[in-house]
Every structure is written in structure tokens, then in C-alpha cells.
């Protein structure tokens, strides 16, 4: 079990590092690591995409006009989730 957790942690770190590279290259304030999200953004996105454990969310691209976090793309360790106001959540 410990080996599986180490692989998961390593994968999470790789995802986070890639997101940091994208942030630096594009200078976007819409690409956020989980700890950079406002609490309301995280709550809105997790609720709209049925993410029961907000700790699962590693990074997020907010596609809302005003930054509410209700729509966007979320990067989790084992999946990518997204929501667009015109469509349902997809996983």
C-alpha cells in the first residue's frame, strides 16, 4: 500500500510542476493550484462537479468571466473533471 501512495504522491507532484510551468509560460491568473483558489471558487467547483473531497483537486482553470469557479477544468490525481454552464459535468 505504501508503494501505491508514493506513486500517487509522485504523480501529484508531477501534475503540480506541469501546472506551474504553464502558469509561468502563459502568465495566466485563470490557472490556479488548489492552494491558490479562493475558498468560494473551490466550493463552487467541487459542488458543481460532484467532487466530494476538495483535497482531490490539484489545480483548476477557471473559465468563468468573474472568477466564481462555477465552471472550468479541474485536475485531480486520477482524473480530469470539467463543467461548462451550457453542459453537464463530465468526468
Q: How many residues does the chain have?
A: 91
For the stretch 30-50, pLDDT in tens is: 788 888 899 999 999 999 999
pTM of this prediction exceeds 0.75: no
**pLDDT > 90 fraction of the chain, expressed in percent and rounded:** 36
The DSSP string of the chain is -HHHHHHHHHHHHHHHHHHHHHHHHH--SSEEEGGGS-HHHHHHHHHHTT-S-GGGEEEEEE-SSS--SSSEEEEESS-EEEE-TTS--B-
Amino acid at each position: 500500500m505504501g508503494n501505491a501512495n508514493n506513486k500517487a504522491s509522485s504523480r501529484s507532484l508531477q501534475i503540480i510542476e506541469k501546472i506551474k510551468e504553464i502558469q509561468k509560460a502563459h502568465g495566466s491568473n485563470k490557472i490556479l493550484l488548489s492552494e491558490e483558489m479562493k475558498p468560494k471558487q473551490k466550493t463552487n467547483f467541487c459542488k458543481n462537479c460532484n467532487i466530494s473531497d476538495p483535497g482531490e483537486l490539484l489545480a483548476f482553470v477557471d473559465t468563468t468571466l468573474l472568477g466564481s469557479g462555477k465552471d472550468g477544468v479541474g485536475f485531480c490525481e486520477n482524473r480530469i473533471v470539467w463543467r461548462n454552464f451550457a453542459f453537464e459535468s463530465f468526468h
